[in-house]
């Protein structure tokens, strides 16, 4: 469910935002119902198998930004919770073998409002239809379209695999929250979400920062402004960093192929821990530069450490495992971005006698990352010229990855990790008692170059 804000309202006072809501309307959606294609696009993750797990990051890919309204005028509870409960139910059924791989999803409706004049159409209708055609057409499986969903306090990103103008609470009522019908809500269009990830929870500053990485296409590519800029929804945006949140190989490696929504469900105290680490330990700039998934792993590690820090007999393997995952996911992301314009020969590495493309072949393990940066000459040279402070970064991270990899491997196979080992890695990661790895990673930024300045691909 979505709503649009009155651009004439005063948004400098966030506590008053709920009183300044006005809805959105599109009479054209009334005429478009029933025009949905009979052969609906079906997305199967099985088709993403084989060597090509990752697709090139498309800097031109368009995404959506929507607001959801927590008011009970529109819902019977919390709109996000209602959608997540359906998605999680279907994902659990899939885990039990009751659903096929592509049958776990939920429909999110962009709600229309009578407050919009009848003469006004759906904002950015052309963009929405073009994105719909891209998803339905050839190569649609390779696209990763996002919808960023916020109620100002929290931010989620949904994986859009289909767009339709049909009445989905009629066609697939079990996959649509009941409040759409019980509240008699008219919907402009429906987004089929195959997964939903939580990026920020109950943290206004975090939402503002995260949305700042999105550029509004029809507003001179300016960053999304949470207060004053959330009108004419959905916003059509592009990511500055071209981040992919739903890559199949990454999901397989870090969630055991479960949905991110399922992984988020198991997260507890580490949600509040993210704000604590940003504000009181690491610092805003370094924390925000860390990959979102890496932040989650670091927060989970710190939550577990604090919970058991007084128990000398506790097995602290989860602390080390999550720190290792944080380093792994951030370094993989950094490497992919650094090598995205490098010649193919510089992106290829040898692993156990097989050639693997770092950009397209999926994430590397800690040991593979260390090996590639230490021994693959072309890759190393490409990284050195593509990352600020590249030489310092490579030397430091190779040593760190080489040291933590065997500890991580032993922990993953059930070996006990004592408090002393966990404390050392926790302090080194966060910078307690000295400069931390997160701060060093923040300095290792990919150098932005004009699109035509890179070397030609071999």
Least confident of 21-35, 199-213, 338-352: 21-35
Phi, psi dihedral angles at 191 (to 5 degrees): -110, 125
How would residue 30 be classed by pLDDT, with cut points 50, 70 and 90? very low
Phi, psi dihedral angles at 315 (to 5 degrees): -85, 110
Phi-psi bin for 37: left (phi > 0), alpha (psi -120 to 50), beta? beta
Which residues are paired to 200 by β-bridges? Answer: 155
Cα 266 to Cα 83, 263, 405: the distances in Å are 17, 5, 25
Cα separation, 171 vs 146, whole angstroms: 23
How would residue 364 be classed by pLDDT, with cut points 50, 70 and 90? very high
Structure tokens belonging to residue 150: 């916020």
Q: What is the per-residue pLDDT across 68-95, written as a single tens digit (0 to 9) for each?
A: 876 655 556 689 999 999 999 999 999 8
Mean pLDDT, residues 136-142 taken together: 83
Residue 144 has pLDDT above 90, yes or no: yes
Please give the pLDDT value at position 24.
Answer: 33
Q: What is the per-residue pLDDT across 188-224, written as a single tens digit (0 to 9) for each?
A: 999 999 999 999 888 888 899 899 999 999 999 999 9
How would residue 1 be classed by pLDDT, with cut points 50, 70 and 90? very low
Cα separation, 409 vs 366, whole angstroms: 10
Residue 332 has pLDDT above 70, yes or no: yes
Cα separation, 183 vs 76, whole angstroms: 8
* Helix residue ranges, H only, 9-65: 28-32
Nearest CA among 292, 249, 290, 250 for reference residue 267: 292
Please give the pLDDT value at position 450.
Answer: 55
Residue 12 has pLDDT above 70, yes or no: no
- The residue ranking higher by pLDDT, 146 or 47, is 146
Q: Compute the mean pLDDT over every residue in the chain, rounded to the nearest whole number.
A: 82
**Threshold 0.85, pTM exceeds:** no
Mean pLDDT, residues 9-19 taken together: 33
Please give the pLDDT value at position 71.
Answer: 63
Please give the pLDDT value at position 77.
Answer: 65
Nearest CA among 194, 205, 290 for reference residue 241: 290
- The residue ranking higher by pLDDT, 213 or 12, is 213
Nearest CA among 184, 186, 126 for reference residue 2: 186
Residue 22 has pLDDT above 50, yes or no: no
Residue 175 has pLDDT above 70, yes or no: yes
Percentage above 70 pLDDT, the chain? 81
Mean pLDDT, residues 156-175 taken together: 92
* Helix residue ranges, H only, 309-436: 317-339, 344-347, 366-375, 377-386, 390-412, 419-430
Mean pLDDT, residues 40-54 taken together: 35
Cα separation, 3 vs 128, whole angstroms: 17
How would residue 10 be classed by pLDDT, with cut points 50, 70 and 90? very low
Nearest CA among 74, 70, 80 for reference residue 179: 74
Structure tokens belonging to residue 364: 């590397």
Residue 23 has pLDDT above 70, yes or no: no
Residue 265 has pLDDT above 90, yes or no: no
Classify residue 387 by its DSSP letter. Answer: B
How would residue 241 be classed by pLDDT, with cut points 50, 70 and 90? confident
Classify residue 357 by its DSSP letter. Answer: E
Please give the pLDDT value at position 408.
Answer: 95
């Amino acid at each position: 469910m979505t709503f649009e804000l009155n651009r004439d309202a005063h948004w400098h006072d966030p506590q008053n935002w709920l009183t300044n809501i006005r809805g959105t309307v599109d009479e054209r959606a009334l005429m478009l119902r029933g025009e949905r294609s009979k052969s609906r696009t079906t997305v199967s993750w099985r088709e993403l198998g084989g060597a090509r797990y990752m697709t090139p990051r498309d800097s031109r890919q368009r995404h959506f930004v929507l607001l959801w309204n927590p008011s009970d005028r529109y819902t019977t509870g919390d709109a996000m919770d209602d959608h997540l409960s359906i998605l999680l139910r279907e994902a659990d059924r899939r885990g039990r073998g009751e659903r096929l791989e592509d049958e776990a999803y939920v429909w999110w409706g962009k709600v229309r409002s009578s407050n919009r004049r009848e003469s006004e159409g759906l904002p950015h209708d052309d963009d929405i239809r073009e994105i719909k055609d891209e998803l339905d057409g050839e190569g649609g499986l390779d696209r990763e379209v996002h919808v960023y969903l916020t109620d100002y306090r929290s931010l989620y990103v949904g994986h859009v695999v289909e767009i339709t103008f049909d009445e989905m609470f009629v066609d697939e009522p079990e996959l649509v929250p009941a409040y759409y019908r019980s509240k008699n809500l008219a919907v402009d269009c429906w987004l089929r979400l195959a997964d939903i990830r939580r990026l920020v929870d109950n943290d206004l500053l975090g939402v503002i920062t995260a949305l700042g990485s999105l550029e509004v296409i029809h507003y001179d590519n300016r960053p999304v402004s949470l207060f004053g800029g959330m009108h004419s929804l959905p916003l059509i945006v592009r990511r500055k960093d071209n981040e992919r949140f739903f890559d199949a190989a990454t999901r397989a490696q870090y969630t055991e192929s479960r949905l991110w929504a399922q992984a988020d469900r198991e997260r507890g105290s580490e949600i509040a821990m993210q704000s604590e680490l940003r504000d009181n330990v690491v610092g805003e700039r370094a924390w925000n530069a860390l990959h979102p998934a890496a932040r989650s792993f670091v927060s989970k590690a710190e939550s577990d450490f604090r919970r058991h820090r007084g128990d000398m007999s506790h097995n602290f393997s989860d602390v080390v495992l999550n720190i290792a995952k944080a380093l792994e996911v951030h370094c993989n992301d950094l490497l992919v971005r650094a090598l995205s314009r490098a010649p193919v020969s510089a992106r290829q590495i040898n692993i156990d006698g097989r050639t693997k493309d770092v950009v397209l072949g999926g994430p590397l393990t800690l040991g593979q990352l260390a090996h590639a940066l230490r021994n693959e000459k072309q890759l190393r040279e490409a990284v050195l010229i593509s990352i600020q402070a590249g030489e310092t970064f490579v030397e430091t991270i190779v040593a760190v990855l080489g040291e933590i990899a065997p500890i991580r491997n032993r922990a993953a196979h059930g070996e006990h990790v004592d408090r002393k080992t966990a404390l050392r890695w926790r302090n080194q990661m966060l910078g307690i008692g000295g400069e931390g790895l997160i701060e060093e990673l923040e300095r290792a930024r990919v150098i932005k170059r004009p699109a035509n300045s890179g070397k030609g691909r071999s």
